């Protein structure tokens, strides 16, 4: 295993902080401008940092609060190179996987004419390794020897059938690169095998619309008691952990999360050891969302994102410092003296399904009527199919009461789109 990379993204301890849109400004460029980037932008602006938001479509959530925005295809090297050279940021912060990472490797460490050095968060290597599921899974299982589920990567339908025959049913099928669970499915019966292949091919981020098949991952199903995200923060003061976040997913996408997830001291210690091992290898500074399957005291590594995590939206109400504030402090070399958990907390995603634009939300009075309840509407301009448009947040006397409160807030909201009425997917307590 290579030596542990230094946490080198941060400026020196006595670095001055400038003012946005002046000659003294520090600049952060977001590659991907969704809801996570929006919260990071808000955190950055509180400290006077200038933010440039980049995404593949106009009016993305972070663009609505950033100082400037660019619409480009981030998988196109020429377009990405041009926007980097034009803006000359101090930090590049990837928010999504669909980025031409070789360009980030080319630009990492570049010195601009005024002497500033471009830093990729956490590192260009980490971004490239985690861009698709194969790079990070092979690093975890084959290089670091961490406990993972059994898996196969396949390129053809014939290889896909063979992998399922080898791993057995049930199994999980995932595109190498996707967002919000698109293309991901659980195969439980033989009749679901071919539809799962077709769905993975159509749902992956790298889908070209051609007859050339995309490489996909087939993963043996892991029996577990619950799943967690362990937010792991690498910063100049060392490695810190937030309290474990439990979460529920459906169709591979986040639906609910809660904090702190109860688990044994042995399992938590093991999860922290694994998270530190893999984030030390990836290097750099910032928040990593490390996902695990937990069964009793047994912990199995699932995935890692080198950035704040969607399940970590719960930290907007559960902690004194949200994951976005922690990410910003880490990458800018600011102290993190304490991470305080504020009590049993939960989040519930607001999903709408339909075809249309200009969402209008009704029911906010009811959604916010209970104490210790909050709401974030992301500002996404359109819906095609099913899309996450917001999140309800709540604290309670127990995890159950917090989750129940967040679900009630989501259920109170109705969404309408121009041209059609959307269906809001609420989570009902059984």
Considering the candidates 79, 311, 315, 322, report the single residue annotated as catalytic.
311
Please tell me whether residues 400 and 360 are part of one structural domain.
yes
Q: Give the whole-angstrom CA distance, residue 66 versus residue 9.
A: 22
List the Cα angle 340/249/378 in 5-degree steps: 65
Domain count across the chain: 4
Reading the block at residue 73, the tokens are 């295809």
Q: Give the whole-angstrom CA distance, residue 311 versus residue 28.
A: 23
Considering the candidates 35, 219, 291, 325, report the single residue annotated as catalytic.
291
Domain that holds residue 178: 150-220
- Known catalytic membership, residue 179: yes
Strands 50-55 and 27-31: parallel
Ranges assigned E (strand) in 278-370 = 286-295, 298-305, 345-362
Query: Average pLDDT over the chain, rounded to whole?
Result: 91
Backbone angle region of 21, left / alpha / beta, with phi > 0 → left and psi within -120 to 50 → alpha: left
pLDDT at 5: 43
- Known catalytic membership, residue 303: yes
Considering the candidates 388, 403, 407, 408, report the single residue annotated as catalytic.
388
pTM: 0.91
In a domain, 154, yes or no: yes
Please tell me whether residues 216 and 232 are part of one structural domain.
no
Considering the candidates 18, 181, 237, 363, report the single residue annotated as catalytic.
181
- Known catalytic membership, residue 22: no
End-of-domain residue from the set 164, 197, 220? 220
Considering the candidates 108, 152, 298, 303, report the single residue annotated as catalytic.
303
Q: Give per-residue pLDDT as tens, 79-93.
A: 999 999 999 999 999
Please tell me whether residues 304 and 379 are part of one structural domain.
no
Considering the candidates 179, 185, 318, 322, report the single residue annotated as catalytic.
179
- Known catalytic membership, residue 181: yes
In a domain, 318, yes or no: yes
Please tell me whether residues 118 and 184 are part of one structural domain.
no
Please tell me whether residues 365 and 387 are part of one structural domain.
yes
End-of-domain residue from the set 220, 249, 271? 220
> Which of the four pLDDT bands, split at 50, 70 and 90, describes residue 430?
very low
Please tell me whether residues 205 and 158 are part of one structural domain.
yes
Please tell me whether residues 278 and 374 are part of one structural domain.
no
Please tell me whether residues 213 and 249 are part of one structural domain.
no
- Known catalytic membership, residue 325: no
Please tell me whether residues 112 and 36 are part of one structural domain.
yes
Share above pLDDT 70 across residues of the chain, in percent, rounded to a whole number: 91
pLDDT at 425: 58
In a domain, 15, yes or no: no
Please tell me whether residues 125 and 31 are part of one structural domain.
yes
Q: Give per-residue pLDDT as tens, 133-190.
A: 888 999 999 999 999 999 999 999 999 999 999 999 999 999 987 766 678 899 999 9
Please tell me whether residues 68 and 122 are part of one structural domain.
yes
Q: What number of CA atoms fall less than 13 Å from residue 38's CA on the CB side?
A: 19
Q: Average of pLDDT values for 385-399? A: 96
Contact between 396 and 402 (Cβ < 8 Å): yes
**CATH number of the domain bearing residue 287:** 3.30.470.20
Please tell me whether residues 272 and 316 are part of one structural domain.
yes
């Amino acid at each position: 295993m290579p030596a542990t990379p230094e946490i080198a993204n941060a400026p020196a301890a006595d670095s001055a902080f400038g003012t946005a849109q002046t000659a003294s400004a520090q600049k952060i460029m977001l590659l991907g401008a969704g809801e996570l980037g929006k919260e990071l932008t808000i955190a950055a602006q509180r400290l006077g940092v200038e933010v440039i938001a980049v995404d593949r479509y106009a009016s993305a959530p972070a663009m609505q609060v950033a100082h400037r925005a660019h619409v480009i295809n981030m998988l196109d090297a020429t377009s990405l190179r041009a926007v980097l050279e034009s803006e000359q940021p101090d930090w590049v912060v990837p928010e999504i996987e669909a980025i031409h990472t070789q360009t980030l490797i080319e630009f990492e460490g570049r010195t601009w004419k005024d002497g500033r050095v471009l830093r990729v968060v956490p590192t260009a290597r980490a971004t490239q390794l985690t861009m698709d599921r194969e790079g990070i899974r092979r690093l975890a299982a084959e290089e670091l020897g961490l406990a993972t589920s059994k898996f196969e990567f396949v390129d053809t339908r014939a290889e896909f059938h063979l992998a399922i025959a080898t791993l057995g049913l049930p199994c999980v099928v995932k595109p190498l690169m996707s967002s919000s669970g698109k293309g991901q499915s659980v195969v439980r019966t033989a009749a679901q095998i071919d539809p799962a292949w077709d769905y993975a091919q159509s749902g992956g981020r790298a889908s070209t619309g051609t007859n050339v098949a995309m490489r996909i991952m087939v993963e043996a199903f892991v029996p577990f008691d619950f799943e967690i995200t362990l937010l792991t923060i690498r910063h100049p003061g060392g490695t810190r952990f937030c309290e474990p976040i439990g979460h529920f997913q459906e169709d591979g996408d986040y639906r609910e999360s809660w904090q702190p997830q109860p688990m044994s001291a042995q399992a938590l210690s093991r999860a922290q050891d694994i998270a530190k091992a893999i984030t030390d290898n990836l290097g750099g500074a910032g928040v990593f969302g490390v996902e695990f399957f937990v069964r009793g005291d047994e912990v199995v590594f699932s995935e890692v994102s080198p950035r704040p995590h969607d399940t970590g939206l719960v930290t907007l109400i559960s902690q004194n410092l949200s994951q976005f504030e922690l990410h910003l402090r880490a990458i800018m070399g600011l102290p993190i003296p304490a991470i305080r958990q504020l009590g049993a907390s939960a989040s519930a995603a607001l999903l709408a399904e339909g075809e249309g634009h200009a969402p209008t939300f009704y029911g906010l009075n009811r959604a916010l009527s209970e104490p210790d309840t909050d709401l974030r509407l992301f500002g996404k301009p359109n819906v095609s199919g099913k899309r996450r448009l917001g999140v309800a947040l709540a604290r309670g006397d127990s995890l159950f009461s917090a989750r129940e409160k967040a679900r009630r807030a989501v259920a109170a909201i109705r969404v309408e789109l121009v041209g059609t009425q959307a269906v809001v997917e609420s989570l009902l307590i059984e």
